Amino acid sequence: MHLDLSGKTALVTGSTQGIGEAIAVGLARAGARTAVNGRKPDAVDEAVARLREAVPGAEVVAAPGDVASAEGASALVDALPVVDVLVNNVGIFGSRPALEITDDEWRRYFEVNVLAAVRLTRAYLPGMRERGWGRVQYIASDSAVVIPAEMIHYGVSKTALLGVSRGFAKEAAGSGVTVNCVIAGPTRTGGVEDFVYELVDRSLPWDEAQREFMRLHRPQSLLGRLIEPEEIANLCTYLASPLASATTGAAVRVDGGYVDSIVP
């Protein structure tokens, strides 16, 4: 299976680390001109350097900016006016007792996890429709379907992305543009490693801590381990490719069987 994105420009938000960085690498390997985004210019430059090292000859663009703000998103669009593949990956998460989540925290999670994606879709989807080709993706989570008791604000924000994705897929109907949500399962990133140690004994070695976390807090997983970021990136790269032209309006799972359902 040859995934060819030559001649296409891809933007991955929040791509200076973790899942976002892995997706950027996957898209670059498929031949896309790839824009790396993050709030801190230094972190963006470092990620760009790593991507160029991982994919020699790749065309990589630094695209710093805080897409969680209207001003930051607008500045990014001005700097990168044409995007063929938009992967809305940026997001925040963290544990918090449900009754202690403040109004400001709820607003912050909605701004970062939902509105950032809405703003960029609103900016880039019209151009994709005019050109007759495009790909929009939203990185959701198993938490969108199985709301975690320890971070319901995060789960609800990801549930909202499922609706956002389906709605914009209808807006793009018949245009050659596909819009999909990727339901990522528990994935090993630096942030998740910190989160694991918030919930299990910090004195445990990582492999043991990971197993304990999955046993106690994610027992539904059929994989029995955390997913690697590259495994998420593989699906995103396929969905971005011309080969995925008939997949739109979908919530596609790469969750290690975590969601206990026989349908997506």
Indicate the pTM of the whole model: 0.94
Residue reference for tokens 């956002």: 164
Q: Return the DSSP state at 228.
A: P
Question: Closest by alpha carbon to 136, among 60, 239, 229, 59?
Answer: 239
The residue type of 10 is: A
Query: pLDDT at position 195, please?
Result: 82
User: What pLDDT does residue 262 have?
Assistant: 86
Active site residues: 154
| Residue 128 confidence (pLDDT) | 98
pLDDT tens readout for residues 124-165: 999 999 999 999 999 999 999 999 999 999 999 999 999 999
Residue in 229, 242, 165 with CA at minimum distance from that of residue 4: 242
pLDDT of residue 47: 98
Q: pLDDT > 90: what percent of the chain?
A: 89
Burial class (CB in 10 A: 0-12, 13-18, 19+), 96: middle
| Distance between CA atoms of residues 227 and 231, nearest Å | 7
Residue keyed to tokens 């004195």: 203
User: How many angstroms separate the CA atoms of 135 and 244, rounded?
Assistant: 10
Q: Would you state the structure tokens that stand for residue 97, as one six-digit string?
A: 């007792």
- pLDDT grade, residue 1 (50/70/90)? confident
Token duo for residue 104: 């400001």
Please answer whether residues 232 and 254 qualify as being in contact, where contact means their C-beta atoms are separated by less than 8 angstroms: yes
**How many whole angstroms separate alpha carbon 162 and alpha carbon 137?**
11
> Which own/partner pairs from 125-130 qualify as long-range (CB within 8 Å, at least 24 positions apart)?
125/168, 125/171, 125/172, 125/177, 125/179, 127/81, 127/82, 127/83, 128/83, 128/84, 128/172, 128/175, 128/176, 128/177, 129/172, 129/175, 129/176, 129/177
Q: Are 83 and 9 in contact (CB under 8 A)?
A: yes
Contact, 220 vs 260, CB < 8 A? Answer: yes
> Tell me: the pLDDT tens digits for 31-65?
999 999 999 999 999 999 999 999 999 999 999 99
